[in-house]
Copies of this chain bind each other. A is one copy, B any other.
Amino acid sequence: MRIGILGTGIVGRTLATGFAARGHNVALGTRGVDALMARVDPDSMGNPPFHDWHADHPDVGIATFTDAAAHGEMLVNATVGGGSIDALRLASPPNIDGKVLIDTSNPLDFSQGFPPFLFVANQDSLAEQIQRAFPAVRVVKALNTMSAAVMVDPGAVAGGDHTLFLCGNDAAARSEVTTLLTDAFGWRDVLDMGDLTNARALEAYLLLWTRMMPVVGTHLFNVKVVR
């Protein structure tokens, strides 16, 4: 499948590598390709400069937001939460309308340090803001509740026996995402939470995730819903 991923941070890179390794045709989208390729310093999260990473992953295309969106039959929002709506605006509605968008972003505000708080919470969510801004996009909130490494390799944690939450207003889109992530990465406990208002819960869970990470001492963790 042709997949367009918006955002070239660790989430975008990891998903791009993961999908490409399973035979998908991936384009990573960024605001400005030349500016991205010219960077020589690690990013704010300590990731190596993009052109170093890309030299090791020539199977992943690099493009503008617009071209990556046009490339994708399915899209992934892997931008930081505060930049997601701008990135999708640059991708431009003709390139995204009607397509499934896996929204992995979180509305995290680190302006007061770590752990972050949420810049939208409780009675609204970033996913709903995106859906309202781009009503013809089939938004599916998914993969926002674990680290990038776990997204593409659930088997790295407890043999893969843990839960992926997703939600969205389009049931067929939720089903398509479930199939893609099951087939590509081996997710086997996918909990379909229903419509996109449930993104309020999946995003608020980050308040817990960010606090658990230092307690458990690794980003290779998740929760398993047991009953």
Chain A residues close to B by CB (< 8 Å): 115, 117-118, 121-123, 157-158, 161-163, 165, 191-194, 198, 200-202, 204-205, 207-208, 210-212, 215-216, 218, 220-227
Contacts and interface: CB of A to CB of B under 8 A. Distances in A.
Contacts of A212: 191, 193, 201, 225
A207 B211 contact: no
Among A115, A218, A226, which residue has the most Cβ atoms of chain B within 10 A? A226
Given A121-B122, A122-B118, A208-B201, A215 B193 contact: yes
Contact of A161 (B202, B205, B223, B226): B226
Given A158-B226, A226-B224, A204 B215 contact: no
A68 B115 CA distance: 37
23 contacts: A115-B201, A117-B122, A117-B123, A117-B200, A121-B122, A121-B204, A122-B122, A158-B226, A163-B223, A165-B208, A191-B212, A191-B215, A193-B215, A201-B210, A201-B212, A204-B208, A205-B207, A212-B225, A216-B225, A218-B227, A221-B227, A223-B226, A224-B224
A175 B165 CA distance: 32
B207 A208 contact: no
A226 B222 contact: yes
Contact of A194 (B193, B204, B208, B215): B215
**Top 5 nearest A-B pairs by Cβ distance?**
A158-B226, A201-B208, A221-B227, A223-B223, A201-B207
A94 B14 CA distance: 56
A225 B217 CA distance: 12
A225 B215 CA distance: 11
A171 B81 CA distance: 35
